[in-house]
């Protein structure tokens, strides 16, 4: 069933995937088992595929509460929060999502990120630089982007952000 849900999500049929995945979650009767973390993660991906990013954020929140040390969940939560901030028209909502993204990426700095991790230290520092820039703190953004490039000298998005910050 999980392979079918992944196929639904990947083909843009996130709504069908979400329906099946929600039945799996419901079958646990409200228990918060670590076995549910990948299900909530898949459910979040299905909601993203269906264009329902707020529901996806809720599913990632649930997964995070069950397994707060999951690098994959933290990454997805940070990226989605940043995406929602960029897309938001309401300044208060935008600020809330930016703050959430910042906290999430800072939490990733405390995790062990190795070769097999879904995100590198360089990417984490890049996201923190981008967030600082969006918050108007270009001094901090410059520090973070330099740390990103210290970690990965060839990371193109960090190079682009550095050029943008230095052009100011």
Q: Read off the pLDDT of residues 126-165 as tens digits, 9 standing for 90 and up.
A: 999 999 999 999 999 999 999 999 999 999 999 999 999 9
Q: Read off the pLDDT of residues 61-118 as tens digits, 9 standing for 90 and up.
A: 999 999 999 999 999 999 999 999 999 999 999 999 999 999 999 999 999 998 899 9
pLDDT at 45: 87
Going along the chain from its start, the domains and CATH numbers come out as: 1-67 (1.25.40.10), 94-168 (1.25.40.10)
> Residue 50 above 80 pLDDT?
yes
pLDDT (average), residues 34-41: 88
pLDDT at 94: 94
pLDDT tier for residue 10 given thresholds of 50, 70 and 90: confident
Q: How far is CA 102 from CA 97, 118, 124, 125, 157, in A?
A: 9, 18, 10, 10, 18
Q: Pick the more confident residue, 41 or 1.
A: 41
Give the whole-angstrom CA distance, residue 150 versus residue 100: 25
Q: How far is CA 49 from CA 13, 37, 83, 85, in A?
A: 7, 18, 14, 18
Residue 14 in contact with residue 46, Cβ under 8 Å?
Answer: yes
pLDDT (average), residues 21-40: 79
Give the whole-angstrom CA distance, residue 36 versus residue 62: 9
pLDDT (average), residues 20-32: 75
């Amino acid at each position: 069933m999980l392979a079918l849900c992944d196929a639904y999500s990947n083909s843009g049929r996130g709504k069908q995937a979400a329906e099946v995945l929600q039945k799996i979650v419901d079958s646990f009767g409200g228990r918060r088992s670590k076995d549910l973390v990948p299900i909530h993660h898949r459910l979040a991906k299905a909601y993203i595929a269906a264009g329902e990013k707020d529901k996806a954020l809720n599913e990632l929140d649930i997964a995070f509460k069950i397994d707060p040390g999951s690098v994959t969940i933290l990454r997805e939560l940070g990226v989605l929060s940043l995406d929602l901030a960029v897309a938001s028209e309401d300044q208060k909502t935008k600020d809330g999502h930016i703050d959430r993204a910042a906290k999430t990426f800072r939490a990733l700095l405390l995790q062990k990120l190795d070769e097999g991790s879904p995100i590198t230290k360089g990417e984490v520092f890049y996201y923190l630089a981008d967030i600082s820039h969006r918050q108007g703190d270009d001094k901090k953004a410059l520090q973070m982007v330099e740390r990103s490039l210290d970690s990965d000298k060839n990371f193109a998005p960090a190079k682009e952000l550095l050029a943008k910050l230095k052009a100011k």
